[in-house]
Amino acid sequence: MVVTTTPTVEGRRITAYHGIVTGETILGANILRDLFAGIRDIVGGRSAAYERALSEARETAIGEMKDRAREMGGNAVVGIDLDYEVINNMLMVSASGTSVTIAG
């Protein structure tokens, strides 16, 4: 499945729009506590443990969004937006876009 932040897929024609799709992941307080406890792995101002958790959360949210796009009959998601929010000591990662069918 093609996923892109752009409104179109270069060289491909959108033949149908199926609607908005989303995917969300929430990292709970225990995850954040564990991440902050692992902050000591920081090298050069970066925490590998925190980056891994964010990457996994992002991929999960995108995966859920793609699953919902498939359920709607799409074979691509365009206009993807990724958001990160902290809510009551929990981290939420959300992905949203438009499920479409592209030709070619």
C-alpha to C-alpha distance for 31 and 36, rounded to whole angstroms: 9
Q: Is 74 exposed, middle or buried (0-12, 13-18, 19+ CB in 10 A)?
A: buried
Instruction: Look at 71 and 38; give whichever has higher pLDDT.
Output: 71
Cβ atoms of residues 18 and 101 within 8 Å: yes
* CA atoms in the 13 A half-sphere facing the CB of 13: 3
pLDDT digits 0-9 by tens, 63-78:
999 999 999 999 999 9
Predicted confidence band at 47 (pLDDT cuts at 50, 70, 90)?
A: low
- DSSP for 28-60, written as a single string: -HHHHHHHHHGGGGEETTEEHHHHHHHHHHHHH
